[in-house]
Amino acid sequence: MSTFTPSPEFDYYYKACRKGDRETKAVAVSYSPVGVLADASEITGLPRDNFEVHEISKADFEDLRSR
Does residue 48 form part of some domain?
yes
Does residue 29 form part of some domain?
yes
Does residue 3 form part of some domain?
no
Does residue 1 form part of some domain?
no
Q: Residue 9 — very low, low, confident or very high, per pLDDT cuts 50/70/90?
A: low
pLDDT tens, 32-54?
999 999 999 999 999 999 999 99
Q: What is the largest CA-CA distance in the chain?
A: 34
Q: Where does 1-67 have alpha helices with state H?
A: 33-44, 58-66
> What value does the CA radius of gyration of the chain take, rounded to a whole number of Å?
12
Does residue 53 form part of some domain?
yes
Does residue 56 form part of some domain?
yes
Does residue 33 form part of some domain?
yes
Does residue 58 form part of some domain?
yes
> From CA 50, how far away is CA 24, in angstroms rounded?
13
What pLDDT does 25 receive?
95
Domains: count for the chain:
1
